[in-house]
Amino acid sequence: MMAAKTSIDEFKNLLNSSNRILALCGAGLSAASGLPTFRGAGGLWRNYDPTSLATPKAFQRDPVLVWFFYAWRRHLALKAKPNRGHYALAELAKKKDNFLCLTQNVDGLSPRAGHPESKLRLLHGSLLDNKCFNECGYIDRNNLSDPVCPALAPAAEDYPSHQTLPLLDPNVPVPSVKTEDIPHCPNCKTGLLRPGVVWFTESLDGEMLSEVNDWVDQERIDIMLVVGTAASVYPAAGYTFKARDKGAIVVVVNPDADSSRGLTPRDFFFQGDASEILPQLFEGVIGKMDEYGNIL
Ligand code: OAD
């Protein structure tokens, strides 16, 4: 099969003349901010595959363990800073009226980079939202407390980089915390609170999905950007196919050569770190960006 294009200049010309642009982002976008990806190196959390903790069943079985996992991820996300990739996408959103960015990331870094809310959809929710596990409807949005509650403080400790946080050492038992001491729903008072993310076996927010589908179906799409995602989780990954059906040229930004699989000679593949590549790709529209993500 013929390879996809790799010319930055050719992409810049395409972007200049493009109107409707869809993006799908994944954990790789936040890799340069120091946040671990799901399926990449260092994949385990203690001895668990992280995806095995991301289910309602896992929470039912051991809510304390699942909360420790999320409390640790919240802490990392709150400590991390958006990188140039997040800023580049946020700037593109400000410049292009018809740009919609779908992110699978729950770390809050795109909103913190100033990505306009109307042009961003958090497909998998947010680590910073807490909602009732019993589905009474209560949701506490953008909760920035760290630790999320005193009992989960061992997940929010900072350790020098050469030492391992005890919580992350599978040989050290998970701190013993009673279920009463993890967050409870203040509304129905019967349920536990849980992270406001979409877990495996759960559906994405129906209203959000139908709004996204309407946007996709409306008319021709010029570009589909696929940034830092293994594109293996549905329905998110399906948007690349939908956009292609609407005429889109697919543009993949990812250090993994395998992620160019399925691209055709009219598509583009930029192999590398999204925080380095995106500012270059968008420069013609957003201007030059300094190392901190400011437009010069
Ligand atoms: P994955 O961990 O599956 O994939 C991360 C992708 O990022 C891989 O293709 C890496 O090659 C790429 N990558 C790594 N470093 C990068 C960098 N610096 N720049 C660009 N790309 C880089 O993460 P996702 O595809 O986001 O869902 O995973 C999708 C979903 O699966 C997540 O939202 C989560 C997970 O289970 C739920 O929790 C529902």
Q: Which of 154, 175, 197 is the last residue of a domain?
A: 197
- Closest atom of ligand 1 to 124 CA is 39
Distance 143 CA to ligand 1 centre (A): 24
Q: Which of 180, 197, 214 is the last residue of a domain?
A: 197
Are 47 and 147 found together in one domain? yes
Segment 126-183, tens digit of pLDDT: 999 999 999 999 999 999 999 999 999 999 998 888 888 999 999 999 999 999 999 9
Distances 10 to 13, 17, 84, 266 between C-alpha atoms, Å: 5, 11, 22, 11
Quote the CA–CA distance of 21 and 99 in Å, as a whole number: 5
Quote the CA–CA distance of 68 and 177 in Å, as a whole number: 10
Are 231 and 282 found together in one domain? yes
Residues of the chain with pLDDT under 50: none
Are 74 and 114 found together in one domain? no
Are 14 and 107 found together in one domain? yes
Residue 197 DSSP SS3: strand
Question: Which domain does 144 fall in, by range?
Answer: 36-79+125-197
Q: CB-hemisphere CA count at 13 Å for 99?
A: 22
From the list 40, 24, 256, 46, the residue with the least C-alpha distance to 165 is 46
pTM more than 0.85? yes
Q: Is the CB of 85 under 6 A from ligand 1?
A: no
Are 225 and 97 found together in one domain? yes
Give residue 164's pLDDT: 85
Are 26 and 104 found together in one domain? yes
Quote the CA–CA distance of 140 and 118 in Å, as a whole number: 20
CATH for 252: 3.40.50.1220
* 124 labelled catalytic: yes
Give residue 152's pLDDT: 98
Give residue 50's pLDDT: 87
Quote the CA–CA distance of 268 and 260 in Å, as a whole number: 9
The answer to whether the CB of 66 falls within 8 A of the CB of 59 is yes
Question: Structurally, how many domains does the chain consist of?
Answer: 2
Give residue 161's pLDDT: 80
CATH for 131: 3.30.1600.10
Are 54 and 183 found together in one domain? yes
The answer to whether the CB of 248 falls within 8 A of the CB of 221 is yes
Q: Which of 143, 170, 197 is the last residue of a domain?
A: 197
Distance 148 CA to ligand 1 centre (A): 25
Quote the CA–CA distance of 59 and 115 in Å, as a whole number: 32
From the list 82, 72, 87, 89, the residue with the least C-alpha distance to 33 is 82
The answer to whether the CB of 286 falls within 8 A of the CB of 93 is no
Are 102 and 75 found together in one domain? no
- Closest atom of ligand 1 to 123 CA is 33
φ and ψ of 250, to 5 deg? -95, 135
Are 152 and 245 found together in one domain? no
Q: Is the CB of 27 under 6 A from ligand 1?
A: yes
